[in-house]
């Protein structure tokens, strides 16, 4: 009925981004970013490196001792035991997983359903699927908004326009959000635009 990711990404493969101060150092799978940070640390005395999980906007603490395989293993071991198992399928289910249960509606609801394409049952299923799809969209938007805000607070919480940008982000106002973050060092707005793309409404064409 609904597709699912049968294998979740390992933590070492999750999209991540590293900043040295206001400058982007590396972006990509966490293991690649970690190795870039390790290389940077070997050539620079600047320790102000922040590594972000792009999915959550949270800063990641990395243990960069050893070689690449050791670092990858250590990152994946810190995953936290996320389950990748499929939900068990019921035995002896009717075709398409249809379950018959009582639905109580007023006469005017039944009258309206009877006039819809496919009849009452098909219409109810369609309405429920549309509502579930909208809920999924809203959830993705909320996750993107929270991730963007966390990263923005860390990178630009003391910058001019931060509060205005935060209000625009939560309001989904792309135009206002862009106007306030555009004043910051180039790599910061570029990163925040990428994180916030699912949470902002496109600017009106009128």
**Per-residue pLDDT reduced to its tens digit, 138-190:** 566 788 899 999 999 999 999 999 999 999 999 989 999 999 999 999 999 99
Say if residues 152 and 165 touch (Cβ distance below 8 Å). yes
Distance from the Cα of residue 187 to its chain's centroid: 20
pLDDT lower than 70: segments of the chain: 1-8, 45-47, 79-103, 105, 124, 131-140, 201-206
Unique residue bearing structure tokens 């999980």 = 53
- Which run of H or of E encompasses 14? none
| The total number of structural domains that make up the chain | 2
Residues 117 and 191 in one domain: yes
What's the pTM?
0.66
**C-alpha pair distances (Å), 187 with each of 25, 96, 138, 176:** 10, 49, 28, 19
Residues 121 and 175 in one domain: yes
The answer to whether residue 99 is domain-embedded is: no
The answer to whether residue 46 is domain-embedded is: yes
Domain span including residue 150:
107-196
Residues 111 and 192 in one domain: yes
Residues 28 and 73 in one domain: yes
HSE, CB side, 13 Å, CA atoms: give it for residue 164: 12
């Amino acid at each position: 009925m609904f597709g699912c990711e049968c294998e979740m990404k390992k933590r070492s493969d999750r999209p991540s981004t590293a900043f040295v101060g206001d400058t982007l150092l590396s972006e990509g799978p966490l293991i690649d970013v970690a190795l870039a940070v390790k290389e940077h640390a070997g050539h620079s005395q600047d320790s102000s490196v922040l590594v972000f999980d792009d999915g959550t906007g949270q800063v990641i603490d990395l243990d960069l001792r050893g070689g690449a395989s050791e670092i990858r293993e250590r990152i994946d071991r810190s995953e936290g035991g996320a389950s990748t198992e499929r939900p068990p399928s019921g035995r002896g289910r009717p075709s398409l997983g249809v379950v018959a249960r009582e639905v109580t509606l007023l006469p005017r609801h039944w009258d309206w359903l009877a006039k819809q394409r496919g009849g009452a049952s098909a219409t109810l299923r369609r309405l429920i699927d549309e509502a579930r799809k909208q809920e999924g969209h809203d959830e993705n938007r909320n996750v993107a908004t929270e991730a963007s805000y966390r990263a923005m607070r860390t990178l630009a919480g003391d910058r001019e326009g931060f509060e205005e940008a935060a209000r625009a982000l939560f309001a989904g106002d792309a135009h206002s959000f862009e106007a306030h973050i555009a004043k910051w060092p180039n790599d910061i707005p570029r990163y925040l635009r990428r994180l916030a793309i699912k949470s902002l409404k496109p600017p009106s064409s009128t």
